[in-house]
Structure 1
Amino acid sequence: MNLCWNEIKRKSHNIRARLEAFSDNSGKLQLSLQEIIEWLTAKDEELSEQLPIGGDAGAVQHQREFHQAFMEDVKSRGPFIYSVLESAQAFLAQHPFQEPEDTLTDGKEVSPRRRIFNVSRSVWKQANVASDLWEKLTARCVDRHRHMERTLERLLQIQAAMEELAGALEQAEGVRDAWEPVGDLFIDSLQDHIDATKLFKEELTQVKEGMKQINELAHQLAIADVHLSMENARALEHLNSRWKVLQGSIEERLKQLQDAHRDFGPGSQHFLSSSVQIPWERAISPNKVPYYINHQAQTTCWDHPKMTELYQALSDLNNIKFSAYRTAMKLRRVQKALRLDLVALRSLVEVFREPELQQGEHVMDVVEVIHGLTALYEKLEEERSILVNIPLCVDMCLNWLLNVYDSARNGKMRVLSFKMGLVSLCNADVQEKYKYLFHQVSASGGLTDQRHLSLLLHEAI
């Protein structure tokens, strides 16, 4: 009996020692895990309380340095956390808790084995919580660090781009400020200024792309919840405003130059405005055909006032008995009114040598007709050394050609019609006129076909 009792006491003592050692080890482990959980929770809250990433490179660099110090602090705690988690893993390996918890009845004490299982379960829960908090904190630290790096890179790009664009805009604004007023430019130089302005606009393509890129970078930062600092936002807004004003200035300059070139350039009809006197005004329809406004009578008509007077004068010749003489007198009156009685056929031939007047069936517009007539009357003034009212002669002759070959005022006529009208009234022998006109529809062998001959007769009649 004594031996049995002593054996029981020895085993009981060993169990007590093991329980005390288990309780001591598990208690220290649980305290360490709880300490880690509290520290990680505090650090997670501290990370959440950090200010949003700033919108200025200097501010982000300062925040990055602060965050790096924060990460170093977290990293320095890593070995201890890993050591405790490894201890917890070793503890759980020695004291598993797979068995389900016993449902205790009232009045029963927890068995030592069940107490070990409960402690193991508590350690397992604490270890899982600590591990999750550690992984979450380190991941958040890395994400914020990467976010700062990307933000800093974009902010540096924005600041460098803004400095470069500011210089480019300043240079472009200098060119704009040096522009002469359109009203002070020579008419002959308008096309050169138009070309220069278009080239200047094309050269600013890089500035346009730079502005687009810098605004896109700012938009990307805004999407990432990073807003530019007040200084950067104002600088970007100022650049956008300057760029918008510069674009508007270029478009306005180009429009003014093109309008001036249209109204006063070589292709304009502005110089013909002096062909009429007050109260008349020469106006132009959309298809470039001129018409005339009488502001006093508040009427409009297709015929030039002088042409109207000429037609009234022609009616006075209706009392001539024979139609051949009557027609000849009327044509002579028109010829002299248009000053074509002073134009020799050879002068017309030289004017007709222009490339656009070589194809008889080519259709001319009003501007081309005016160019041809202007060249003709300028040549007449030079050859005869006489003063010719070129605007009036051009406008009158244009009016007559339109009445004969474009009575509907479509603004188009064939080259052959243009030549036929002028050759018919020029100062030359009739046979020379016939030969020249037939040559316009004949082939290289001096022969023509039925279609071209019909076209010639149609224009003549």
Structure 2
Amino acid sequence: MLGLSNKGGQPCYPLRSFNLSCHTDVALTETIPAMLASGLVRLEAFSDNSGKLQLSLQEIIEWLTAKDEELSEQLPIGGDVGAVQHQRDFHQAFMEDVKSRGPFIYSVLESAQSFLAQHPFQEPDEMLPDGKELSPKRRMQNVSRLVWKQANVASDLWEKLTARCVDRHRHMERTLERLLQVQAAMEELAHALEQADGVRDAWEPVGDLFIDSLQDHIDATKLFKEELTQVKEGMKQINDLAHQLAISDVHLSMENARALEQLNSRWKLLQGSIEERMKQLQDAHRDFGPGSQHFLSSSVQIPWERAISPNKVPYYINHQAQTTCWDHPKMTELYQALADLNNIKFSAYRTAMKLRRVQKALRLDLLKLTSVAEVFREQDLQHSEYMMDVVEVIHTLTALYERLEEERSVLINIPLCVDMCLNWLLNVYDSGRNGKMRVLSVKMGIVSLCNADITEKYRCE
């Protein structure tokens, strides 16, 4: 019999309700096993459901990890249309495989969400010492926590894999579009360069061209260069596309890279040919064309040579004496002849005789004043203060002597007359050989020696 005592240590007797208490203990004794059995059933059911869910989540994690590695092991995107199309088809099948797995993954993740809604968990307030047995509630929360972690990992892997698949697909589409543009551009440029090379190969050597046709060939070459503007823009576009592909880690295949290199080489070669052709034509036109002084080279004979300074002023080289001078050899002879007239006593007669000898040496005694006025008007030389360069003076003098030859029907050595008259004008109005003379000065010099009455010369404007 159980002995009970009070605080004072005195024994106490059982109450009348003891029997009731005994009956209650018996009821509890009978209820506890039932409760334990029910808890075990729930725990077993919980463990069974969570175990299946964990296995499914682990299977998804392993499958997604393997697919992510498989995607990483795919080859870099190729550098030609055929290779990219083949890779796109392979990746499309890969995406279909991933997509087909989607319903199962979503189903398992939804199951995990429902499970966690039914079995929430909280972080433990304190860590249990090692070896201490966990309560069933704690064990269930640990299982819920593990399910939550697995579900998060599976969800992150799924989102990452699908995003990578979409990014690679878009990259392939952009790459394929650019490669198609590169291929079409290369074909078009190859055809254009072939036609341009044909034009270039048909060019005649500059040395075989007629002097009168030099300007026409210069104009044709300029037009040809302008027509190649589209080729120039096409080359820039195709090189920009190749650069954009390289930036996106797509390098052209060996065949495409070689074709692009050949196109660039042909284009540079063609540009160089055009520039060289233009330079040769312009040099020839400058040295031999209508605007050149080449035709005046015949005004001197060996051992003399006519040369031109940078400002277009002529000078003369004596190769025998190895000397140079500003005066034409014939002008030097004329000045020596004028010195013989110094014996004339009266200065007026002496000056008149010298001017007459210069006039006849320059053949200006045959030139009419009206012809002078007409030539200056035709050459648009009406502004008296306009500064003419040597080339413009030569053009004017050539026009005057050609008109004189036509009007007088006499044979004139035009190169010699032009060079001599130019030399005389330079000595009078440009002794420093700057290469510039006013229109008024040139006109006054010619009018003063032309064939006209003195009163007409005074009235000349």
Q: TM-score range by the shorter chain?
A: over 0.9
Q: Which residue of 1 aligns with 2:88?
A: 64
1-side partners of 2:254 and 2:204: how far apart?
A: 38
Cα deviation code 1:193-246 (max 9, x no counterpart): 212211211111111111111101110110000000001101111111111111
1-side partners of 2:183 and 2:429: how far apart?
A: 67
Q: Which residue of 1 aligns with 2:211?
A: 187
Task: Identify the match of residue 222 of structure 1 among 243, 246, 258.
Answer: 246
5 Å matches for 1:49-128?
49-100=73-124, 102-128=126-152
Q: Which residue of 2 aligns with 1:173?
A: 197
Question: How far did residue 2 of structure 1 move?
Answer: 4.9
Question: How far did residue 300 of structure 1 move?
Answer: 1.5
Task: Tell me if the contact between 1:340 and 1:426 (Cα under 8 Å) persists in the aligned partners.
Answer: yes
2-side partners of 1:146 and 1:324: how far apart?
A: 101
Task: Tell me if the contact between 1:101 and 1:114 (Cα under 8 Å) persists in the aligned partners.
Answer: no
Question: How far did residue 101 of structure 1 move?
Answer: 5.8
Is structure 2 residue 406 aligned with structure 1 residue 382? Answer: yes
Name whichever of 3-12 and 251-260 sits farther off.
3-12
User: What TM-score, normalized to structure 1?
Assistant: 0.92
Q: Counterpart of 1:193 in structure 2: which amino acid?
A: H
Q: Which residue of 2 aligns with 1:161?
A: 185
Q: 1:277 to 1:355 in 2, by over 3 A?
A: closer
1-side partners of 2:144 and 2:431: how far apart?
A: 111
Question: How far did residue 273 of structure 1 move?
Answer: 0.7
Cα deviation code 1:369-414 (max 9, x no counterpart): 1111111111222223222111111000000011111111111112
Q: Counterpart of 2:255 in structure 1: which amino acid?
A: E
Task: Tell me if the contact between 1:282 and 1:292 (Cα under 8 Å) persists in the aligned partners.
Answer: yes
Question: How far did residue 355 of structure 1 move?
Answer: 4.3
Q: Counterpart of 1:394 in structure 2: which amino acid?
A: V
1-side partners of 2:376 and 2:130: how far apart?
A: 127
Larger Rg: 2
1-side partners of 2:373 and 2:108: how far apart?
A: 110
Task: Identify the match of residue 374 of structure 2 among 329, 350, 358.
Answer: 350
Is structure 2 residue 395 aligned with structure 1 residue 371? Answer: yes
1-side partners of 2:313 and 2:457: how far apart?
A: 29
Q: Counterpart of 1:122 in structure 2: which amino acid?
A: L
Cα deviation code 1:259-310 (max 9, x no counterpart): 1111111111010011111221111112111111122222211111111111
Cα deviation code 1:247-269 (max 9, x no counterpart): 11111111111111111111110
5+ residue gaps, structure 1: 441-461
Q: Counterpart of 2:429 in structure 1: which amino acid?
A: Y
5 Å matches for 1:417-432?
417-432=441-456
Q: Secondary structure at the match of 1:356?
A: coil
Question: How far did residue 353 of structure 1 move?
Answer: 2.5
5+ residue gaps, structure 2: 1-24
2-side partners of 1:350 and 1:120: how far apart?
A: 114
Q: Which residue of 1 aligns with 2:63?
A: 39
| Percentage of identical aligned residues | 86
Cα deviation code 1:122-171 (max 9, x no counterpart): 11111111111111101100100000010001000111111111111111
Q: Secondary structure at the match of 1:357?
A: coil
- For the aligned residue pairs, the C-alpha RMSD in angstroms reads 1.4
User: What TM-score, normalized to structure 2?
Assistant: 0.92
2-side partners of 1:182 and 1:107: how far apart?
A: 104
